Structure 1
Amino acid sequence: MSVTGVCQVCERREAEYACHRCGAAVCSVHFDTEQGVCVHCADPEGSEDVFSEGDTDDEVPEFR
């Protein structure tokens, strides 16, 4: 299965994975490779901050 588009969590990075539980297209930062699910499905109670320290505007090029 090919994943295209932007990450449905951060809406910044290119999506590389599809969550095995909900089907969301997500980037490598917002995908738990051990569980094969997005960060929302990995933490359904929302107790973790889904945005990593790497989620800064400095790292993501702005397209105009």
Structure 2
Amino acid sequence: MSTTGLCQICERATASHSCRQCGAVVCEDHWDADRRLCADCTAASAT
């Protein structure tokens, strides 16, 4: 799902993705396209 606004992680870049796990809207730098998760959820699933 695509969206607009500021990234909820860095709060600087334009958000263009929505995490399928937590719903956060994030920029390209904080997006894991393979998993369709934000960087926070990707990191949490790795532990």
TM-score, normalised to structure 2, is: 0.87
From the CA coordinates, give the structure whose radius of gyration is larger: 1
**Structure 1 gap ranges (5+):** 48-64
**Structure 2 gap ranges (5+):** none
TM-score, normalised to structure 1, is: 0.65
Higher relative contact order (CA 8 A, sep 6+): 2
More strand by share: 2
Q: State how many pairs are aligned.
A: 47
More helix by share: 2
Query: Identity across aligned pairs (percent)?
Result: 43
Structure 1 residue ranges (4+ consecutive) displaced by more than 6 angstroms after TM superposition: none
